[in-house]
Chains A and B, each alone.
Chain A
Amino acid sequence: MFINKYGLTTLSYKAVYSYQSIKLFILFRIVDPFMHYIFFATLASALVGTSYLKFVVLGNIVYYTCQTMMINFINMFRMERRYGTLELNIASPTNTLYVIIKKGIVPLLDSLFVFLISIILGGILFDLNLPINNIVNIIFLCLVTMFTMFCFSLLFACISLVFSNVNLFLNITLAFLQIFCGVNFGVNKLPEVLEFISRLLPLTHSIEALRTIYRITKYEVTSLLLKELTLGFCYLILSLILVISMEKLARKNGELFKDI
């Protein structure tokens, strides 16, 4: 009812989005996160004991949500480059950033779905009971985390345009996030300089906030989420600057992106 079947977002989804069948969706949005959490939970239990299990699973829930958004955002751009349609989009009178944001709505909804499914899976598999009395904080965390991830993915998608091997760039970035955002261990265990870097990345504060909401760690949730929100705005501004600079550079150099 609220979906415009000829809108930019709907048509972008139909044109370039990877998961268009229920079978694929169930496989990649339910079975795959399930396997991911089982793997890391088993690993954590085997290495440091079951007391650490919830800590790891909560970190991985935020990480997996971000991974979903980034992979799908990048895939859409990769498909646009493969089809040779990106130039046509950019040459149109519609603002490029607006086009990119519209295209990002489906990955955003997709990762929101993954987050919700993961919270349910966490409850069923690892006894991570949703603290209902903290529901306001959960909703706030969900909104802030999604916003920051979206802005980071936007920035990431713009940068990826200059790489011919997008997959390599994507894999390195995801590995970097997994190590430096406190997914499997607290960032306070990192050397000071690296901890400083991790505090500039998305996820770090969201992961700490989620663990606090679930009473695994003790931090100030609102403060963490405000820091995360600030980071999100910074990424948005950087994306904006990057899109404008890249458009100018493309007109100067004669190419917007590397051929793939």
Chain B
Amino acid sequence: MIQPIIKTENLCFSYSKSKNDISALDLEVPRGSVYGFLGPNGSGKTTTIRLLLGLLRKQKGSISLFGQPFEENRIDNLARVGALIENPSLYGHLNARENLKIAARYRGGVPKNRIEEVLEIVKLSYVKKKKVKAFSLGMKQRLGLAISLLNKPELLILDEPANGLDPKGIIEMRSLIRELNEQHDTTIFISSHLLSEIEKTCSHVGIIREGKMLFQNTVAALKNSQTGKLVVEIETNDTSSASEIAKELQMNPDIADEQSLNVVINRKDEIPGLIDNLRNRQIAVYQVRIKDNLEELFLSLTEN
């Protein structure tokens, strides 16, 4: 088995004595993966990331990065990590290039042309001399990402990277993540509260709620973990008759609202037969959609 790049065992942390913010968290991020760390707001994603990077002091358990215990190897470990935690840390009174220069000087050993390179990667070259306080949230997010790429990290930790990005920016972020992972062999740890985001980019997923890990495996395993049944939403002009027809076909219908009907089927190829039946009885079909059942799974996992 390949050694995990991030591994925590029985990690515990609480901000106050009354409540455990992170409890007995076992995190395992395989090298070369794109790991989606998924959980609703306030579930402890950022707290976990802060623990991983040594910003918060753990109260119990162990953290190791690159197979070494973090505390004893803090500087060595951090030299191989790039991180973007919550809102990016940027000096508003300085311009984009100056911000990058500062980060590069702290790190040491960053070649000069790397600054232009990362500006190019995040598509900010055109505003490199503009003061950061005039940047939009999405631009700040990109600059924060550029800073985290300066040292060509082996492990990139991104906390809600899609925050503030426009749709185009989100798509670019996705392809950047893919490129870094595939071409530069960067392991990427992304936290998000959006399942769809994780599903599109990640190979592995960990789902956290109230500081506890609920599920951790590959995205494929998450998809397979379901019953195999599909829920199809059908928009018609006559839901009650449609429901009758679905019953005849043994498809467990459930009227969602006046226009739409949820039907449970076993396989995708049952859909055309169902539509044929509806059309034969002169029922109008406006829309048929396979419901994202991962989303339901996520909700069922993260809600009580």
A and B together in one complex: no
